[in-house]
Chains A and B, each alone.
Chain A
Amino acid sequence: MTPGDLSTLLVWAAATAFTIALFADAANLAAIADAAARPRQTARGTTAADAGARAPAMAATASSHPGPSLAPARSVAVPPSSWHTATAIAGRPAPARGIARSTLRLGVLLLLAGIVLRGIAAGRWPTANMYEFTLVGVLVATTVLAVVQRRRVIAFVGVVVTAIAVLALVLALNVFFVRADAVPPALQSYWLVIHVGVAISATGVFTVAFGTSVLQLLAAARAENRSHLAVPWARADGLRRTVAGWRVTGPRFAWLRQVPDALHLEALSFRLNAVGFVLWTFTLIAGSIWAEHAWGRYWNWDPKEVGTFVAWVVYAAYLHARTTRGWSGRRAAYLVFAGYAAVLANFTVINLFVSGLHSYSGLK
């Protein structure tokens, strides 16, 4: 077995591990929802958990860690007298959570090994085509997830990110895959490591921020008891009634009680997006320097450059929106969605359907 084949096998293994993590996260989420949905059992537990969630929200003792104060330990906030309720809420999800956490870490390691072997097989830094870009992007996203989950387990963000990771890996293996090989002269530069590496990292960070923003909107809607599925949809009301069970204020989203409130999620999303934006800015600058080296033009309005520029402007708008009265919160989250959509389109649509100087996917 060549290193290239072994690499592919490891990537498949990583995809499998992430799938297990996805199911475990989903089971964790379902268990939380289940427990929260049983009104009699949860009555006391919820109060305790909510109290635990609220009280230390902005409180931090002087002796606490210097790190973010976003991790109120909810599962231990349950008073001992209601231990059976505590089991219903915190005990049931525990095995699923443990599985999710360990398979996520296993997946990260398998993927890392797969990427290293890919580089060995190709005899170069493995970020030269869509397949490798996806692999490394998933590695960054799952690593950021693993780091974020180390402090606070947010099952939902886990579900979003692992789902994107599994989809991306399966897509990469089936559609983007190209044989490990050397690169054309235009890519033979140390900028392949810097420019592409940073672009991938930014994409990974944006992915986790996107998941956090989705969760932020759900949490905000539930907290404000506002659902589009609660009001009639005129002629399409039949359709609405069939999906009404999925309204964010309903029992299926009871697990939202377990996540940090919308404001904290927004703050987390902002911090991730701020890091992503700085990385993205660096990607643009490094790309211009490389373009100057390779093509003799630092900016050529190449479709990929335009896509990167559009995403940059949208995230810049997001950063401005956050400090504009009336635009913070929900509206700013919409800009995160727009920015992430631009990042994804810039990677997929531009690479596959638009020809330009960045046509390196290796696919025809």
Chain B
Amino acid sequence: MSYRPEGLDDAFTPAGAAAAPAIGVVGWLRWAWRQLTSMRVALLLLVLLAVAAVPGTVFPQRGQDAAKVTGYIAEHGAVGIWLDRLGFFDVYTSAWFSAIYLLLFVSLVGCILPRSRQHWSAVRARPPRTPRRFTRFPAQATSSSSDEPEALVRRAAAVLARGRRYRVDVHDEGAGVWSASAERGYLRDSGNLVFHLALVGLLVAVATGQLLHYRAQVIVVAGTGFANAQTSFDTFERGRAFDPARLEPFTLRLDDFESRFDPVTLAARDFTARVTLTEPGAGPSVRIIKVNDPLNVGGTQIYLMGNGYAPHVTVRDASGVVALSGPVPFLPQDRVYTSRGVVKVPDVSGGQPQIGLVGYLLPTAAQTPAGSWISIYPQPTAPLLVLSVWSGDLGLDTGVPQNVYRLDESGLTQAVDSSGAPVTLVVRPGQTVTLPNGLGTLTFDGITRFAAFDLRRDPALGWLLGFALAALGGLAASLFVPRRRVWLRAAPLIGDRAGGPVAVVTAAGLARGDDVGLAPELGRILAAVLGHPVPITGRTSADHDARKESP
């Protein structure tokens, strides 16, 4: 008996009564398995999957924006906490979402593997023998011919096999009756199976990639570089099975970064990072990295993810000793590159308080009528640093990792003027200002660009692409290749044979799924065999559907 999933409506397999489950645990398990692999449950799981994916667009997700999730929970109190417990902020890794898609894949595998076996034997099998009667088929025709039945059937077999790529068998049914049975379109079912198996392959490839991948982020100021090693990165994330020894040994230097903006709308138009790549055993080579155009170094992709400005500052402490000198990246917050940053000065001369400067870099500064400073253009035509000053303990010696873009104010006090208002330093390039409370001086030496790169290696990407394309090809084949069976029978005509027809020809066609081309196809085949047009009749699909609707 051939396998078919519960509930699959298929023209090729006659509806049979499902076997009643045997009593006992095994019987129940078999029943549960048959339910899980049934079409109805697959349908239900698909609808559930679609519904379950929606909350991920309604609620903020940790994977995309963890800060937003924290904000949401803080804002919504108990509701937020409960949503969090139920996994609404990690929808796509939540137990319920995973359960649905894993069940769906189990159902898929349970359905597809037996069908693959069945299809494998169907592909090697001969077309089914010609049925005795054609009345139940959706396309039928009756005609006559002046050829002998055998010659006619053999001609039909040739037409089917050669022109239309059918697999054909010719049968001698005795008493002078000959028939041909033909089948085509095995690719339709192969495509269907390839599509479903490729989906399983996709899932496996994604999981493998998760195990073997690594992703790193690094901010590089123009003129400096980094080595591809875990210690060089600002963030580093890896799969469980990733081997750090697999990091390709290369160094990358950002030579120059260029950006272009639309002068009217200020919208970004182009970002180009010119880098020097040095690989072991090769001389340095100059490369370009752009958005949409990552650099591939032996399988590691380097993406240009962001850019901004790093003001060069020099801070001298109260003793006049240089405590800090160099570029400090400020992160852009908006389209005019109003950039936020922190200058931490821990290495002051003995006994003096540590200094923290926090504030904004404005690439092209302008003063509003109210007196505050804003940036009006993303390019650094008139840069300005606006900083507030803190002093005390930066908290860097506690050993707890700190965000370089955030000032831990717990051990610090903000400098205020005589009226008690916070001191704000406004510094232009080349200027040196005195820090309040005799903390020292600050010089704004100049401005450099930085680029933010993502480095990533996922060895499963090629597999992923392969499975995706296999799924697409399989899908197209399963939807557009018609699977058809055609039968033709010729029986000798008894009676007056003088010059008249000598054979009665009957033919029928059956297709898997809907196939509006079936009747015309049968018509064309008969026209080619008989040399004249033959009207095609048949049970309409309305009768078929009426049967289908009443269980």
Contact = CB atoms under 8 A, between A and B. Distances in A.
B549 A189 contact: no
Interface stretch (A108-116, A225-233, A238-246, A308-316): A308-316
A301 B527 contact: no
B542 A263 contact: yes
Nearest to A354: B57
Interface in A4-21: none
A313 B520 contact: no
Contact of A189 (B292, B536, B540): B292
B472 A282 contact: yes
Contact of A181 (B265, B305, B456): B265
B465 A60 contact: no
B548 A309 contact: no
Contacts of A278: 472, 475-476, 479-480
Contacts of B551: 325-326
A154 interface: no
B533 interface: yes
Interface string B477-515: 001100000000000000000000000000000000110
Interface string B201-226: 00000100000000100000000000
Interface string B41-60: 01100110110011011000
A58 B57 contact: no
A325 B534 contact: no
B40 A296 contact: no
Contacts of B61: 301
Interface stretch (A39-47, A61-69, A75-83, A145-153): A61-69
Interface stretch (B3-11, B20-28, B120-128, B178-186): B3-11
A59 B53 CA distance: 45
B472 A285 contact: yes
A182 to B, nearest CB: 6
Nearest to B101: A313
Contacts of B115: none
Contacts of A271: 514, 516
Contacts of B50: 310, 313-314, 317, 338, 342
Given A58-B540, A278-B475, A296-B301, A186 B292 contact: yes
A19 B303 CA distance: 48
B323 interface: no
Contact of B53 (A70, A181, A270, A310): A310
B461 interface: yes
B519 A327 contact: no
B47 A59 contact: no
Interface stretch (A97-105, A250-258, A287-295): A287-295
Contacts of A323: 8-10, 39, 513
Contacts of B464: 298
Contacts of A317: 43, 46-47, 50
Contacts of B392: none
Q: How large is the interface on B (under 10, 10 to 19, 20 to 34, 35 or more residues)?
A: 35 or more
Interface stretch (B266-274, B368-376, B415-423): B266-274
Contact of B49 (A263, A299, A301, A313): A313
Interface in A293-346: 293-296, 298-303, 306-307, 309-310, 313-314, 316-317, 319-321, 323-329, 335, 338, 342
Contacts of A335: 47
B53 A313 contact: yes
A263 B293 CA distance: 50
Most buried by A among B39, B40, B43, B542: B43
Contacts of A64: 520, 523
Contacts of B193: none
B43 A327 contact: yes
A309 B53 contact: yes
Contact of A58 (B138, B461, B534): B138
A63 B533 contact: yes
Contacts of A359: none
Contacts of A326: 7, 548-549, 551
A348 interface: no
A274 interface: yes
B320 interface: no
A301 B64 contact: yes
Nearest to A285: B468
Interface in B438-460: 454, 456
B262 interface: yes
Contacts of A267: 514, 516, 541
A354 B55 CA distance: 12
A185 B43 contact: no
Contact of B545 (A65, A263, A306): A263
Contacts of B548: 325-326, 328
28 contacts: A58-B538, A58-B540, A60-B523, A61-B536, A65-B520, A68-B516, A184-B269, A263-B540, A270-B514, A278-B472, A278-B480, A296-B301, A296-B456, A301-B61, A301-B63, A301-B91, A310-B50, A313-B53, A314-B46, A317-B43, A317-B47, A323-B513, A325-B39, A326-B549, A326-B551, A328-B9, A329-B545, A356-B64
Query: 9 shortest A-B CB distances, which residue pairs?
Result: A62-B533, A62-B523, A62-B527, A185-B291, A317-B46, A296-B303, A313-B50, A303-B57, A324-B39
Given A61-B536, A186-B291, A328-B9, 16 more contacts: A62-B524, A62-B532, A63-B533, A68-B517, A70-B516, A181-B267, A267-B516, A271-B516, A300-B64, A310-B50, A314-B46, A325-B7, A325-B9, A325-B39, A325-B548, A335-B47
Interface of B: 7-10, 39-40, 42-43, 46-47, 49-50, 53-54, 56-57, 61, 63-64, 91-92, 138-139, 206, 215, 262, 265, 267-271, 290-294, 301, 303, 305, 454, 456, 461, 464-465, 468-469, 471-472, 475-476, 479-480, 513-514, 516-517, 519-520, 523-524, 526-527, 532-538, 540-542, 545, 548-549, 551
